[in-house]
Each structure stands twice: as C-alpha cells, then as structure tokens.
C-alpha cells in the first residue's frame, strides 16, 4: 500500500528519526496510540496498524526491559520508530484520502482492447479525486516534529454526514458479516476526496446507480424518478459535472460500436434507413451521403456518421441533458418507455435514460418561466419530422404536418444558467430524502473490489 511504500522509502534514504531523540520517546507516541485505540470503531484491526507491537515495545522501553535477542535496545527503538511512522501514515492518509485509490482500481476492471503486449481498460471512474502526494507526507512529518499530531489526525478524518451515519450503523449489535462489509465499503466511498459532493449544494441532481433512481434536490423540494443505465458490459461511468444545456428533439449520432453491429448489416436496405429516419453524413464536409453508395468499409473507417433525425422514435427521446465529461455520457429521454416498468434497468450503452424528462427540464431551470416551459412542452410533443428536411425529401404527409407546425413555439436548445451540479455516483448504502439509510444491490460488483483493498486493514 502507498503509505507502506512511503515509510520504506523514508528510512531507506537514511533520513532522521521522527519519533526518537536523545531522551527517548515522548508523548507524541501516546497521542498516536490514543487515536489508534478507536480504530476498531471504523471496522479496522489494531494488528494491521501494529498497535499491540507498538504498545509492547513502548512499555519495554519505559521499563528498560531489554535483552540480547530480538528485544535489544537498538531493535526495540528501531521497531518503534518504523512502526509508529507506518501506523501514522496508514491512518492519516487513509482517513484523509481513502484507504484505496478508486481511479486505479475501478479503471482496471473492464478490458476495452487487448493487443499483443498491451491492454487498455474502459474508464469507469472519471472524477477528479485528491490523492496523498509528497506535500501531504511532508506536512504529516512536520506535524510529528511540531507535536501537532492529534490536531492533524482530527482534521484528516472525514467530515461527512453520510460517513457519520454509516459509522453509527457499524456499531449496531447483531450485524452479519455481509452487513458489516457493506457498511465498510460505503464508508470508504465517503473518504474519497472528490472535486465536489452533493452536500455542498442546495440544488443538485444525484444519480446513485445501484438505487436505479435519480433524485433532483432543491432545498426541501425533491423530485425522484426511475432511471435506466449502462449494462454490465457497458457500465455507466462515475462522473461529477454540471448540467449546462438541454437539447430538445436532438439528433442521435450513433456510436461506432452500434454502427458496426446494427447498421452495417443493413446496408442496401433503403427501407431500414427510411423507417428509422437514419441518414449518413460525411464527417469532414458535413454533406449528406446517398445511402445506396455507402460501403461497410466507409462506415467502419470512422469518416462517416450515421445519424437518426430528432423527434418521435429517436433513441434519445425528445430531450437530452448535456454536461461536460470525457466519455460522451448524458441524461436523456427514451422512445422505449416500457423500460421503466422493469425492476432491473441496467440496459443502455452507458447513458442514463430518465423516466420524467419534462419534469426534470422544469427542475433545472433557474426560475419559473411559463413561456419557456410551454415551448419545451410543445416541442417535446409536436411532430417535428419535417424539420430540417428538404422539400424534395418530404412525403405528402410530412408536407401537411409542416403546414400545421407552430414554428414560433419550437425550441432547439436551452442553456442552463446557473448550471446545475450533477453527481453520478455508486453507493450500495445511502440516505433517502429523510436521512434514513437505504440498502441497494451491488449491480456492478464494485463492493467486492473495494473490500479486497480494505482487507489489508481489517
């Protein structure tokens, strides 16, 4: 583990002692021991922090109880110096940043591509998260020298309402091993110092993947809805961002994987493209390409987009909620509304489908604007199939529809100001709107991955 590496590196470099001086060891060691006495409260083992050995050696030193074997004065002092630093580094870095690195562990789960000597993995954790670096460990050592250990440890410990609730729950009598492990892994999630968290905001959108629900919070007002998200093969990544725009009746640019699997086999079937309202566009020039002239090689080259026109039947539904991220993930409506009747809804290619898109559109607006809401509502229900089509491409029915459209009420995009924070997270235990802890299934199997890392301390 990283704190152990730091400990070894420090002493192999022959740097000065941190705990021992000419007078022996003073109360700084006792300050650390006092903090570590409560390590079992957070589910960890005193042995994993060398506490019994530290206490034994400290007692031996104070009683001058040495012998000529493994308990010579030199060996006792050496053990104390090393074990105190190791226990201290383990505790303060773990409580401050987490006892595992989520970015490393979760981004080495699903293989994306495997070649002769290289393996690339899918990005499943895309949240800026602080980690303990040189500066932190230098500060930690300076706290020993300044005799400010207790205060430094106190500031390193999580200051999080969810963490506190889980820690109290861990003290409950009669917990099964499975229940304890689940609490421990969710306490660990609370330690990760992400770039932002919901508790800092009055208004935000929270997608907790294992809950299969979205929660939109604005002070005391809470809007909840069902969601569908990425399948186990195409897991929805964890993201922290802010909703910046809504696009009404968006076009759907197909991912290359879907083009290869679903579209390429249909080349030559003009009806397939017509019925699904697909068209092909040259990536460089932006020009539409005659479907009958397209070959499989052209589509697989990546030089051409397959796009579905916006409107009824579009895979993204009638509205999409955009936010900056590195993985082209967003919230959107869906044309397959029956998906929300299922209890298990991990079915998408990674994006998140929302049950109540119109209600969510009203939520993200900064203030009530009846005219804007009316335009969004009208645009989400109007037949917009003739929009952005050339006259010669329209059928007779489309021409009739075009004549009845109230284009003054149509709206394409709405910028969200101020932007609304969005958190796509993964907790298998999390408080509901009233603060009561709920438990959810570990749909992606992340709990076991985290627990394997925490076993180093349990």
Helix ranges (DSSP H) in 121-280: 134-145, 149-156, 161-170, 177-191, 256-258, 270-275
Nearest Cα neighbor of 47 from 2, 83, 19, 100 is: 83
Average pLDDT over residues 94-120: 93
Taking 80 as the threshold, does the pLDDT of residue 392 lie above it? Answer: no
Does 213 qualify as catalytic in the annotation? no
Catalytic residue among 190, 201, 351, 381: 351
Domain ranges of the chain: 2-157, 199-250+314-426, 256-308
Taking 80 as the threshold, does the pLDDT of residue 32 lie above it? Answer: yes
pLDDT for 286: 85
pLDDT for 291: 86
Beta strands in 201-303 (DSSP E): 203-208, 213-218, 221-230, 239-248, 252-253, 278-282, 288-289
- For the stretch 206-265, pLDDT in tens is 999 999 999 999 999 999 999 999 999 999 999 999 999 999 999 888 888 788 888 888
pLDDT for 124: 97
- For the stretch 344-361, pLDDT in tens is 999 998 999 999 999 999
Instruction: Provide the b/e sequence for 7-28 (b: ≥16 CB within 10 Å).
Output: beebeeeeeebbbbeeeebeeb
Taking 70 as the threshold, does the pLDDT of residue 186 lie above it? Answer: yes
Taking 90 as the threshold, does the pLDDT of residue 266 lie above it? Answer: no
The fold for domain 199-250+314-426 equals L,D-transpeptidase catalytic domain-like (2.40.440)
What is the Cα–Cα distance from 256 to 197, expressed in whole angstroms? 33
Average pLDDT over residues 285-304: 86
Taking 90 as the threshold, does the pLDDT of residue 163 lie above it? Answer: yes
Taking 70 as the threshold, does the pLDDT of residue 66 lie above it? Answer: yes
What is the phi/psi pair of residue 106, to 5°?
A: -75, -25
Average pLDDT over residues 34-42: 92
Q: With pLDDT > 70 as the criterion, what percentage of the chain qualifies?
A: 97
| The two structure tokens encoding residue 85 | 């630093």
- For the stretch 126-137, pLDDT in tens is 999 999 999 999
Catalytic residue among 201, 332, 349, 381: 332
Does 351 qualify as catalytic in the annotation? yes
What is the Cα–Cα distance from 188 to 317, expressed in whole angstroms? 37
Taking 70 as the threshold, does the pLDDT of residue 390 lie above it? Answer: no
Average pLDDT over residues 385-405: 69
Taking 90 as the threshold, does the pLDDT of residue 106 lie above it? Answer: yes
Taking 90 as the threshold, does the pLDDT of residue 302 lie above it? Answer: no
Residues whose CB is less than 8 angstroms from the CB of residue 74 and which lie 6 or more positions away in sequence, other chains included: none
């Amino acid at each position: 583990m990283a704190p152990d590496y730091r400990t070894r590196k420090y002493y192999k470099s022959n740097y000065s002692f941190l705990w021992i001086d000419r007078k022996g060891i003073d109360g700084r060691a006792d300050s650390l021991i006092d903090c570590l006495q409560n390590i079992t409260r957070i589910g960890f083992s005193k042995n994993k922090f060398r506490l019994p050995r530290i206490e034994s050696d400290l007692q031996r030193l104070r009683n001058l109880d040495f012998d000529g074997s493994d308990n010579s004065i030199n060996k006792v002092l050496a053990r104390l110096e090393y074990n105190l630093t190791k226990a201290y580094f383990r505790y303060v870095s773990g409580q401050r940043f987490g006892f595992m690195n989520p970015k490393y562990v979760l981004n080495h789960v699903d293989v994306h591509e495997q070649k002769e000597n290289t393996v690339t993995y899918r990005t499943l954790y895309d949240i800026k998260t602080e980690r303990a670096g040189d500066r932190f460990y230098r500060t930690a050592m300076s706290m020993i020298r300044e005799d400010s250990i207790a205060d430094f440890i106190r500031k390193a410990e999580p200051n999080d309402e969810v963490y506190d609730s889980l820690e109290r729950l861990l003290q409950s009598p009669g917990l099964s091993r499975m229940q304890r492990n689940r609490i421990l892994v969710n306490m660990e999630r609370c330690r990760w110092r992400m770039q932002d968290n919901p508790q800092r905001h009055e208004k935000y959108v929270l997608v907790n993947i294992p809950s299969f629900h979205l929660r939109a919070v604005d002070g005391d007002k809470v809007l909840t809805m069902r969601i569908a998200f990425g399948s186990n093969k195409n897991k929805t990544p964890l993201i922290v961002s802010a909703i910046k725009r809504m696009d009404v009746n968006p076009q759907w640019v197909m991912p290359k994987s879907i083009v290869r699997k679903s579209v390429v086999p249909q080349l030559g079937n003009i009806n397939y493209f017509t019925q699904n309202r697909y068209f092909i566009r040259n990536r460089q020039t932006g020009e539409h390409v005659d479907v009958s002239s397209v070959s499989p090689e052209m589509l697989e080259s990546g030089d051409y987009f397959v796009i579905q026109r916006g409107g009824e039947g579009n895979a993204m539904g009638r509205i999409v909620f955009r936010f900056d991220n590195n993985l082209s993930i967003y919230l959107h409506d869906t044309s397959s509304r029956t998906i929300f009747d299922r209890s298990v809804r991990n079915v998408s290619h990674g994006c998140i489908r929302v049950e109540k898109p119109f209600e969510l559109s009203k939520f993200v607006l900064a203030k009530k604007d009846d005219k804007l809401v009316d335009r969004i509502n009208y645009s989400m229900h109007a037949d917009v199939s003739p929009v952005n089509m050339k006259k010669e491409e329209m059928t007779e029915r489309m021409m009739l529809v075009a004549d009845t459209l109230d284009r003054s009420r149509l709206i394409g995009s709405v910028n969200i100001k101020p932007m609304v924070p969005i958190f796509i997270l993964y907790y298998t235990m999390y408080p509901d709107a009233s603060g009561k802890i709920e438990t959810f299934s570990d749909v992606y199997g992340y709990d076991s991955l985290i627990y394997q890392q925490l076993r180093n301390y349990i």
